[in-house]
Amino acid sequence: MKSQMLIGAASSGSGKTTFTLGLLHVLKKRGCRVQPFKCGPDYIDTQYHTMVAGCASVNLDTWLASEDHVKQLYARYGAEADVCVTEGVMGLFDGYDGMHGSSAEIACLLHIPVILVLNARSMAYSAAPILYGYKHFNPAVHIAGVVFNQVAGESHYSYLQQACKDVGVECLGYLPRRSAIEIPSRHLGLTLDEKFRFDAFTDRIATLIEEFVDVDRLLQLASVPLEETNSAQTDHLRANPEKACEANITIDKNNGAVSEKSSMRIAVARDEAFNFTYCENIRKLEALGEIIYFSPMRDSLLPAAADLVYLPGGYPEFFLEEISENDSMLYSIASYIKAGGKLLAECGGMMYLCHSIIGINGVGYPMVGALKQDATMKGMKLHLGYRKLNYNGMALRGHEFHYSHVNNSLPSETTMYNAKGMATNTAFIRYKNAIASYAHLYWGEQNILDLWK
């Protein structure tokens, strides 16, 4: 038995992220080993979970991955934790097809209770029918309790308590209205800059949770068994990591498999401009060889003798001058591609490979120039959704989220489809051995090297 919960809500903007970050902070202050997870394809919230919890947050997504894979991830990462906290996505039952792909589906799949965060800013006793609906809509989804957000005070809270009592949903407390815990946003998720002190921000939320939420009762209600999936062989090696090192093998957290580790050198971009990655993608790269991180903003050259370069997405549009002025890195990457080096670029990474990126100010900034097209932030429009494609015999899935677009787009190697099976105009580009797309791919169950076979 251990405390496990999914933080769900009736809709986006209800306070899931605020409450999750504050709760993670409270648990860390108590000395708990806490493992965060995130429902869905979000690669930003996981970064903030990681900063608070001190360990990597893991995506759980039944569109990107199989149900078995999701269960294995949850069991393996959760096994060593005292508390598992999963932040939901959108409204509790919102999926790509009805409930499919929703937070509720994850809660059912993993048999974990839901703590509902309900925005009470413009309601009082009317919370009762909402809670009644969430409690009874699907009996397989266990609503263990509710925390109210944006509560005006004790008088307001008394109406909400009465609503819970009449419906039979346990009321665990509330977060009062405070401008100091409102999350600033940049496209999607939190903004981290010099003016935003993240530790102080989460500490403010934690202080309010400790004052107004019954955390002990929450943990008690969320105490359920954790299903185990580890194989005996992997258990032995995890318990004796020196044995794995001696044998030059790696333990794959995706499925418990033990495989030989090659001598590949994999260069992964990681700095303020490029950081949108999935935890399991990085783990799969670690299983293939040695990862060397580098910064396109500050390093002068690619890591020497790289066998594969990975340019993930991020916020290049906010660092155009720094990226564009690093001529030696631009030349290093262009030369690597020209020589036939294997490279995968996603979203912001794909923009970086273009001839230029045109900023919001209308100014064009020279980039690598390997892809003879221009990315632009002018006329910003949200492009969002799941994507699937077939290439080189691989069936791949991913997620697209960006406001930029490409002028004079290069032809696509294959067609990408959305979750409904409809063709999209998202290009999947290949130039020599450089593969680039707006889609953030998930390869937690695959060998990404098969793209180049």
Q: Which numeric CATH code is attached to 262-452?
A: 3.40.50.880
The pLDDT of residue 208 is: 97
The pLDDT of residue 179 is: 75
Angle between helix axes 154-167 and 127-136 (nearest 10 degrees) is 40
Region 184-213 average pLDDT: 75
Distance CA(117)–CA(149), nearest Å, equals 7
Region 144-167 average pLDDT: 97
Greater confidence, 279 or 198? 279
Whether residue 117 contacts residue 12, with contact meaning beta carbons closer than 8 Å, is answered with no
| Residue 197 pLDDT class (50, 70, 90 cuts) | confident
| Residue 13 pLDDT class (50, 70, 90 cuts) | confident
| Residue 36 pLDDT class (50, 70, 90 cuts) | very high
From start to end of 284-417, where are the E strands?
Answer: 289-294, 308-311, 313-314, 342-346, 354-358, 364-366, 371-376, 383-391, 394-402, 405-407
Poorest-pLDDT segment among 1-15, 245-259, 348-362, 386-400: 245-259
| Residue 181 pLDDT class (50, 70, 90 cuts) | confident
CB atoms near residue 115 (< 10 Å): 28
**pLDDT tens across 259-290, in order?**
456 789 999 999 999 999 999 999 999 999 99
Q: Is the pLDDT of residue 42 over 80?
A: yes
CA-only gyration radius of the chain, Å:
23
Quote the percentage of the chain above a pLDDT of 70: 89
What average pLDDT is seen over the chain?
90
Q: Six-digit token pair at 285? A: 């790269």
Distance CA(262)–CA(274), nearest Å, equals 26
Distance CA(215)–CA(174), nearest Å, equals 11
Angle, alpha carbons 329-333-334 (nearest 5°): 115
The pLDDT of residue 405 is: 96
Q: Six-digit token pair at 283? A: 């783990």
The pLDDT of residue 244 is: 36
Q: Six-digit token pair at 138? A: 């699907």
The pLDDT of residue 228 is: 57
CATH classification for the domain delimited by 2-224, as one of 3.40.50.300, 3.40.50.150, 2.40.50.140, 3.90.180.10: 3.40.50.300
Domain map of the chain by residue range? 2-224, 262-452
Distance CA(232)–CA(287), nearest Å, equals 20
Q: Tell me 318's DSSP state.
A: G
Cα atoms in the Cβ-side hemisphere of radius 13 Å centred on 373: 22
Domain 262-452 in the same topology as domain 2-224: yes
Whether residue 317 contacts residue 404, with contact meaning beta carbons closer than 8 Å, is answered with yes
The pLDDT of residue 419 is: 96
347 as an active site residue: the answer is: yes
Whether residue 116 contacts residue 147, with contact meaning beta carbons closer than 8 Å, is answered with yes
Region 348-357 average pLDDT: 98
Whether residue 10 contacts residue 130, with contact meaning beta carbons closer than 8 Å, is answered with yes
Whether residue 7 contacts residue 87, with contact meaning beta carbons closer than 8 Å, is answered with yes
Poorest-pLDDT segment among 174-188, 344-358, 371-385: 174-188
Residue among 164, 279, 347, 354 flagged as catalytic: 347
SS3 assignment, position 292: strand
Region 152-161 average pLDDT: 97
The pLDDT of residue 243 is: 37
Distance CA(96)–CA(104), nearest Å, equals 12
**pLDDT tens across 228-259, in order?**
544 333 444 344 443 333 333 344 444 444 44
Region 63-67 average pLDDT: 97
Distance CA(168)–CA(189), nearest Å, equals 33
Distance CA(23)–CA(202), nearest Å, equals 9
Region 319-334 average pLDDT: 97
The pLDDT of residue 213 is: 98
* Closest-CA residue to 437 (of 425, 427, 449): 427
End-to-end CA distance of the chain: 45
* Closest-CA residue to 88 (of 67, 117, 47): 117
The pLDDT of residue 143 is: 97
The pLDDT of residue 184 is: 63
The pLDDT of residue 260 is: 52
Highest mean pLDDT among 19-23, 230-234, 314-318: 19-23
**pLDDT tens across 413-440, in order?**
999 999 999 999 999 999 999 999 999 9
Distance CA(406)–CA(437), nearest Å, equals 11
